[in-house]
A and B are shown apart, each in its own frame.
Chain A
């Protein structure tokens, strides 16, 4: 264990926290259970006013499990997405993996990503499948296009934006520090979809390695930003529209085959998913159909 602590980790799991509750310890338990060590954790506390004892316990448990932890704190309290950026900058490993309070990784996650990186040394971005945990039940999230171990930027555009957001979020992505740094981090302008914005930019630049196993679980617990997002001052469709405009712009600048009417098609899919289908479902329920 002493040797593991001395070797710089190849992967750092970046966990931004603020006033964490009990779900945080489930996240920590999933890291303790990893089948492979060699990774570290950057625990960034954005000036919590509650849950300090949980942060302390998390740190002690990780260290006891032989996982090096660096506890950091931004100089001033930051907004949510700014904190993600700051915490990422505090990481030094070649590979970074964001992990949020309540999210859990399957025991094979680190080993699977490491195996893929060893298999594809030029890889910059790795995506695995993941499941949602809603009221104790696991439900599969959108899967990547079948039959691909990896996608080049041009291949990615065959499935995006036409198929909507099948990429996922921070839960199922890992990327190199260099790719993250050079992409300019998470866009603070897009509080609901900063992750999608970054991952689209990364994939259009570097392509994507796909791990077909479901290796992460996204729990929609009460402390999450996503919980009650409809009551927040954000509009997902507007964010998606701004993301797609940027993506089209980038594709035209570097001569990638952006699909004709891709912005409109992507927004249409999102409108159907966010508004039309839920409205139809409510209508059917009301009519007893």
Chain B
């Protein structure tokens, strides 16, 4: 069994998936497995088969799975992640890609800090028709324990990038249950912040992942759903704050209020 399972939830993939697969083929390590989960695609199934063949040909253990019935987007992530066999899970979405050293760096971090719940890297944001934008990490390489991250997520909120920029401990995933489908926009924010506050975080400040907002992506339509986005952000932050309070941890109430005010101001001023 490998230490790391890269999981791709897929539905009706297009040619943008090839770049994702190419980036796995180009990894400097082969110490990982790949699981492609096809959520009952009605198109692009030949691309999934081609991806599997390419991965296997390159010496990467790869398999395809299918949920028992078609699931909603976030439900599909939960189903897929729950069935992981490796102790670490790396989600990777169609269209995103990893730099060649990415998985090797993740594996090194798992070895150094096995107590962490979440490991994340800096990433580039790509949008069609716009230059790539680097989203750096301001903290140096290392592990930040739960007490530090508890305060950090309450003051700053989500700071770990898109799913393609992080990997998480499967054991921690099983304990927290998974992503909340009731927050389709902010499910990953709540998930990462919960893991961070529970088990701590390893930050790798190098730009090792690429997040591509292509036309078929859920994130593409978010600019038209700003009100729903604000509501979800305030709800997930409320859940985190309340949880910290129930556990009698220190809650930076001023920081929490400033964070909420910042979100509301950004919404009102269209940022």
Contact = CB atoms under 8 A, between A and B. Distances in A.
A85 B235 CA distance: 22
A246 B79 contact: no
Interface centre among A82, A83, A181, A182 (most CB of B within 10 A): A182
Contacts of A191: 243, 246
A185 B71 CA distance: 15
Contacts of B72: 182, 205
Interface string A52-96: 000000000000000000000011001100110110010000000
A238 B72 CA distance: 28
B243 A178 contact: no
Contact of A182 (B78, B194, B232, B240): B78
B76 A182 contact: yes
A253 B75 contact: no
B179 interface: yes
Contact of A233 (B79, B184, B246): B246
Nearest to A176: B68
A75 B235 CA distance: 31
Given A189-B240, A234-B246, A182 B75 contact: yes
A82 B194 CA distance: 12
Given A181-B79, A188-B194, A249-B231, A85 B177 contact: yes
Contacts of B247: 233
Contacts of A178: 67-69, 79
A89 B239 CA distance: 23
A82 to B, nearest CB: 4
B68 to A, nearest CB: 6
Contacts of B47: none
A187 interface: yes
A158 interface: no
B248 to A, nearest CB: 6
Contact of B78 (A184, A187, A189, A247): A184
Instruction: Classify the interface of chain A: helix, strand, loop or mixed.
Output: helix
Interface stretch (B19-27, B91-99, B125-133, B168-176): B168-176
A239 B242 CA distance: 8
A178 B247 CA distance: 30
B3 interface: no
Contact of B176 (A75, A85, A205, A249): A85
B248 A249 contact: no
A158 to B, nearest CB: 20
Interface string A237-275: 011001001110110110000000000000000000000
A242 B248 contact: no
B248 A181 contact: no
Contact of A183 (B75, B183, B184, B246): B75
A201 interface: yes
Interface string B49-76: 0000000000000000001110110111
Given A178-B79, A242-B242, A246-B182, A187 B235 contact: no
A89 B82 CA distance: 8
B196 to A, nearest CB: 13
Contacts of A75: 171
B180 A246 contact: yes
B163 interface: no
A209 B184 CA distance: 26
B77 to A, nearest CB: 9
Contact of A201 (B182, B231, B238, B242): B182
B228 A188 contact: no
Interface string B143-156: 00000000000000
Contacts of A83: 175
Contacts of A183: 75, 78, 178, 181
A210 interface: no
Contact of A249 (B175, B177, B235): B235
A75 B114 CA distance: 14
A190 interface: yes
A82 B175 contact: yes
Contact of B238 (A85, A204, A242, A253): A242
26 contacts: A74-B175, A85-B175, A89-B82, A181-B79, A182-B67, A182-B72, A183-B75, A183-B78, A184-B74, A184-B78, A184-B178, A188-B175, A188-B177, A189-B194, A191-B246, A201-B182, A205-B75, A233-B246, A233-B248, A242-B239, A242-B242, A245-B235, A246-B235, A249-B184, A250-B182, A253-B228
Interface of A: 74-75, 78-79, 82-83, 85-86, 89, 178, 181-191, 201, 204-205, 233-235, 238-239, 242, 245-247, 249-250, 252-253
Given A185-B177, A188-B177, A189-B240, 6 more contacts: A82-B175, A184-B178, A187-B177, A201-B180, A249-B232, A250-B181
The 10 A-B residue pairs with the shortest CB-CB distance in the complex, in nearest-first order: A185-B177, A182-B75, A184-B178, A246-B182, A189-B243, A82-B175, A250-B182, A189-B239, A85-B177, A89-B174
